[in-house]
Amino acid sequence: MNEERYSRQVLFSPIGRKGQERIRNKHVLVIGAGALGTGNAEVLVRAGIGKLTIVDRDYVEWSNLQRQQLYNEQDAKDHLPKAIAAKNRLEEINSSVEIEAHILDVMPEELLNLAMGVDLIIDATDNFETRMILNDVSQKLSIPWLYGACVGSYGISFTILPGVTPCLHCLLNEVPIGGLTCDTAGIISPAVSHVVAYQTTEALKILVEDYESISHRVVSFDLWKNEHVSLDVRNLKREECPSCGVHRTYPSLRYENQTKTAVLCGRDSVQIRPASRHSVNLLAISRTLENQGKRVERNPYLISFKVDSLKVVLFYDGRALIHGTKEIMKAKSIYHRYFG
C-alpha cells in the first residue's frame, strides 16, 4: 500500500493505520451508477477500498453529465453503459482497487448472488422496488446497507444494520419516502453531494468497524428551503416486521411481489404491471408531466405521452404499456423514471 497516498486519512484518528488496513480488505457493492452511485464509488475508491462491485442497467445520456461525476461527453456520445464507464474512470483514479462492473437490472436472484461475501451494500438506485429487494437481501444475508435518495433539492439517508437498527420495511409507515423522480421534479447537484457525504461517512465507519459511531437517525433535508430534519428511529424496529422481525418472510424476494414485465406479441410493446394493484392519481401525474413540458392525453381510464420515439400509456391501476420497444430493460427504466 502506498503510505503517502492515504496519509491524510490515516492521520484521522478514528481511522488510523488499523482502519486503513481494514478498508483495504473490504468489499463494497454499489447498486446503481447514477448520481449517488458515482459519488459513492469515487469516494470509496479514493479512500482505498479493496474491491468495489458496481451494478447498473442503463447507459450514459447527456442529461446525466450535470450531476453524475464519473462521466464525460464522450461517454454520452458513445451511449456507454454506466457500469463500464464508471469502471474505466475509477481504474484511472486508483489502479490498486479491484473494480467489478455488471450491466444488469437486478432482481432477487441476481442481488443475492452479487451480495455474497460483500461487507456493505450502498443503495444508489432509482426506484423503490429495488430498494425493498435490497432491504430483504440485506436482512437475509446480515449485510449492512446504506439507504439514500434525492430529488429536486431534497435528500434522505439512513444506515441499516441487520439485527440492530430498524429496516426500511419498519419505517414505511413512519417516515415519508416520497414518489417523485429526477425526471419529473428535476434535481440540483448539491443535493446529490449532500446525500453522498452522509452515505460515505457512514460507509467508512462500517468499513473500519467503528459501530459505536454509527448514526441511528434518518436524516433528511431540503437545501433550497433551508430545512434539515434528523429523526432518532431506534424505537421503530418492529418484532412483527416481515423483513427483519421474529418471523421473517422476506416479502420482496418472492416472485408474486415483484414487478411483472412482458413483451406483447406482435405489438412492439412492453407491458409493466406493479407487484400490487393500486389506484394511481392520473390527474396529478398528468399535471406533473405537463409541468415538465410533456403533451399528455387523458381520459378517465388512462393517460398517454411521448418519450422520444416511444409512447407511454399509464392505466389507473398502475399498469403501463411502453409502445415502440421490445427491450424490457429500457421499458422498466422509463417506467421507474416517470412513475417512481
Q: How far apart are the first and last CA of the chain?
A: 43
If asked whether residues 139 and 226 sit together in one domain, one would say yes
CATH code at position 210: 3.40.50.720
338 conformational bin, left if phi > 0, alpha if psi -120 to 50, beta if neither: alpha
Of 212, 232, 253, the last residue of a domain is 253
Question: What pLDDT is stored for residue 276 in this prediction?
Answer: 66
Q: Which tens digits make up the pLDDT trace of 110-163?
A: 899 999 999 999 999 877 888 999 999 999 999 999 999 999 999 999 999 999
300 belongs to a structural domain: yes
319 belongs to a structural domain: yes
Question: In the predicted model, is pLDDT for residue 194 greater than 70?
Answer: yes
In whole angstroms, what is the distance from residue 321 CA to residue 335 CA? 9
Q: Residue range 158-184: average pLDDT?
A: 81
* Highest mean predicted confidence (pLDDT) among 8-22, 53-67, 317-331: 8-22
Q: Which residues of 138-161 are buried (b: 16+ CB within 10 A; e: fewer)?
A: bbbeebbbbbbbbbbbbbbbbbbb
If asked whether residues 54 and 188 sit together in one domain, one would say yes
Decide: 252 and 108 in contact? Cβ < 8 Å.
yes
To which residue does cell 446525500 refer?
A: 195
Question: In the predicted model, is pLDDT for residue 174 greater than 90?
Answer: no
Closest CA to 203 of 164, 233, 160: 160
Q: For the whole model, what pTM was predicted?
A: 0.80
Strand 217-222 and strand 98-103: pairing? unpaired
**Residue 235: phi, psi to the nearest 5?**
-80, 5
If asked whether residues 148 and 173 sit together in one domain, one would say yes
% of residues, the chain, pLDDT over 70: 92
If asked whether residues 241 and 264 sit together in one domain, one would say no
Question: What pLDDT is stored for residue 207 in this prediction?
Answer: 98
Decide: 39 and 193 in contact? Cβ < 8 Å.
yes
Decide: 59 and 83 in contact? Cβ < 8 Å.
no
Q: Which tens digits make up the pLDDT trace of 28-50?
A: 999 999 999 999 999 999 999 99
Question: What pLDDT is stored for residue 147 in this prediction?
Answer: 96
71 belongs to a structural domain: yes
Reduce the DSSP state of residue 282 to 3 states and report it: helix
304 against 274, higher pLDDT: 304
Q: Residue 292 — pLDDT band, cuts 50, 70, 90?
A: confident
If asked whether residues 166 and 281 sit together in one domain, one would say no
% of residues, the chain, pLDDT over 90: 65
If asked whether residues 152 and 279 sit together in one domain, one would say no
If asked whether residues 120 and 168 sit together in one domain, one would say yes
| Catalytic option among 167, 182, 241, 244 | 182
306 belongs to a structural domain: yes
20 belongs to a structural domain: yes
Of 204, 221, 253, the last residue of a domain is 253
Mean pLDDT, rounded, of the chain: 90
Q: With DSSP H G I counted as helix, E B as strand and the rest as coil, what are the percentages for the chain, rounded to 5?
A: 40, 25, 40
Radius of gyration of the chain (CA): 20
If asked whether residues 267 and 247 sit together in one domain, one would say no
If asked whether residues 249 and 264 sit together in one domain, one would say no
Q: Residue 205 — pLDDT band, cuts 50, 70, 90?
A: very high
Question: What pLDDT is stored for residue 268 in this prediction?
Answer: 84
1 belongs to a structural domain: no
**Residue 129: phi, psi to the nearest 5?**
-60, -45
Question: In the predicted model, is pLDDT for residue 3 greater than 80?
Answer: no
For residue 319, the enclosing domain spans 259-339
**Helical segments of the chain, H only:** 7-11, 16-24, 35-47, 73-77, 82-93, 108-115, 128-141, 168-171, 182-185, 189-207, 282-291, 328-339
Question: In the predicted model, is pLDDT for residue 296 greater than 70?
Answer: yes
Q: Residue 176 — pLDDT band, cuts 50, 70, 90?
A: low
If asked whether residues 228 and 263 sit together in one domain, one would say no
Question: In the predicted model, is pLDDT for residue 223 greater than 90?
Answer: yes
CATH code at position 293: 3.30.310.10
Of 253, 277, 310, the last residue of a domain is 253
If asked whether residues 129 and 222 sit together in one domain, one would say yes
Sequence-distant (≥ 6) Cβ neighbours of residue 142 within 8 angstroms? 162, 163
Q: Which residues of 41-80 are buried (b: 16+ CB within 10 A; e: fewer)?
A: bbbbbbbbbbbbbbbbbbbbeeebeebbbbbeeebbeeeb
DSSP 187: B
282 against 159, higher pLDDT: 159
Q: How many domains does the chain have?
A: 2
Q: Residue 178 — pLDDT band, cuts 50, 70, 90?
A: low
Q: Which helix (H) or strand (E) holds 116?
A: none
2 belongs to a structural domain: no
Reduce the DSSP state of residue 62 to 3 states and report it: helix
70 belongs to a structural domain: yes
If asked whether residues 219 and 78 sit together in one domain, one would say yes
Q: Quick check: is 182 catalytic?
A: yes
* Highest mean predicted confidence (pLDDT) among 164-178, 183-197, 256-270: 183-197
Q: Residue range 157-172: average pLDDT?
A: 94
